[in-house]
Amino acid sequence: MRTSIAVIVLIAGVSCTKKAPPPPPPPITEVRAAAVPDLAPLDGLDVAWDAAPEMAVPLLAQDVVEPKQAVSGVPTVGVRALVDGGRVVFRLEWMDGTEDHEVGLGRFGDAVAVQLPVAAGGDVPSAQMGEPDKPVRISVWKAAWQDRPADVAAEQASRYPNEAIDHYPFAAAADPAVRAEMETRYAPARAAGNPVTAMASLPGPPPGHGGPPPPPPGFAVQDAVARGFGTLTALPRPASVGRGVRHGDRWVVTIAIPLAAAAEEAPTRGRRTYAAFAVWDGSARNVGARKLRTNWVPLVLPP
């Protein structure tokens, strides 16, 4: 009895090897967003993300304008997307063995960006920062914005325990409003309402000065538009949010972008559009134009 079972199993095995192997799953060549009934999670490790197929998007050199960035050891960024009531949420995962969330002289932080065309439809501009009459919308997440110090003075004292400072002119002012105004005089970027300064470590600009307010703690995405190289301009009101977590030697970052209000704008539900991505590795001194980027990839949003 045993022998006959063994024979049957053997025959079955032989017949199996003779069959053609099951075809590999077709390569994923577009980011197809899955719809979720409630809010899509901003936690990139949430199981809800299992519903969204991941496209491995090749990272390319930034080889168009100086300063250029040659390809590094990071071949791809894995992209998934979920759509909830009013947002498309991207989940971006890439390998980066060094966690860089500090910015300083000669120190740069890790970052990632999603780029979408402003106009709906298939006539996309250059994937490298758009074109003068075909703008792109870019949402940037930076580790340094997410992990910005709550107290600049304390952060400075811990980084430079032996620092000796004679005095800050504003420190003597007793009235907090006077002190804030004086301090702003020695922080021209803050006085000018610089959007990067607002995202960094300081409280928002004092009354009477422009510039966007800082995002809520732990959420660190800036929205901007670009019309070609060197034209990135932050929007006055950030609409997107996002957060990153470390997952082994990888970053997993989610960026939630509001769907467009008008049908002629991207992204809208039920329409196909395109998205492109960029990754910066702080340890490799990536910053600004020194980045790895992708081509446009199709982005399909469910109705």
Do the strands 136-142 and 31-32 form a parallel or antiparallel pair, or are they unpaired?
unpaired
Q: Note whether 48 binds other proteins by CB under 8 A.
A: no
Binding mask of the shown chain, residues 79 to 118, with x at each position contacting other proteins by CB under 8 A: ------------------------xxxxxx----------
Phi, psi of 141, deg, nearest 5: -110, 135
Of these, 85, 217, 285, 302, which contacts other proteins (CB under 8 A)? 285
Of these, 158, 178, 186, 217, which contacts other proteins (CB under 8 A)? 186
Q: Note whether 71 binds other proteins by CB under 8 A.
A: no
Strand ranges for the chain from DSSP E: 31-32, 34-35, 55-58, 76-83, 87-95, 111-117, 136-142, 221-226, 233-234, 241-247, 250-258, 272-280, 292-293, 297-300
Closer CB to other proteins, 197 or 240, in the complex = 197
Q: Note whether 65 binds other proteins by CB under 8 A.
A: yes
Q: Using CB under 8 A, count the residues that bind other proteins.
A: 44
Of these, 76, 201, 268, 283, which contacts other proteins (CB under 8 A)? 201
Q: Note whether 169 binds other proteins by CB under 8 A.
A: yes
Closer CB to other proteins, 274 or 280, in the complex = 280
The DSSP code for 11 is: H
Q: Note whether 152 binds other proteins by CB under 8 A.
A: yes
- Min separation Cβ 67 and other proteins, Å: 6
Q: Quote the CA–CA distance of 279 and 234 in Å, as a whole number.
A: 18
Of these, 36, 74, 181, 229, which contacts other proteins (CB under 8 A)? 229
Of these, 230, 236, 258, 302, which contacts other proteins (CB under 8 A)? 230
Exposed, middle or buried: residue 299 (CB in 10 Å: 0-12, 13-18, 19+)?
Answer: buried
Phi, psi of 122, deg, nearest 5: -90, -5
Closer CB to other proteins, 273 or 286, in the complex = 286
Phi-psi region of 293 (alpha: psi -120 to 50; beta: other; left: phi over 0): beta
- Which residues on adjacent β-strands are paired with residue 34? 82
Do the strands 76-83 and 34-35 form a parallel or antiparallel pair, or are they unpaired?
parallel
Task: Select from 122, 29, 120 the least CA-distant residue to 79.
Answer: 29
Q: Note whether 188 binds other proteins by CB under 8 A.
A: yes
Please identify which residue in the block is written with the tokens 């670009």: 226
User: Residue 205 corresponds to which tokens in the numbers above?
Assistant: 């600009």
- Min separation Cβ 36 and other proteins, Å: 34
Q: Note whether 235 binds other proteins by CB under 8 A.
A: no
Q: Note whether 247 binds other proteins by CB under 8 A.
A: no
Closer CB to other proteins, 8 or 71, in the complex = 71
Q: Note whether 70 binds other proteins by CB under 8 A.
A: yes
Q: Note whether 196 binds other proteins by CB under 8 A.
A: yes
CB of 254 within 8 A of CB of 103? no
Q: Note whether 208 binds other proteins by CB under 8 A.
A: no
The tally of CA atoms less than 13 A away on the side-chain side of residue 156 is 8
The residues that touch other proteins, with contacts defined as CB under 8 A, are: 63, 65-70, 103-108, 144, 152-153, 156, 163, 165, 168-169, 183, 185-194, 196-197, 200-202, 229-230, 232, 285, 287-289
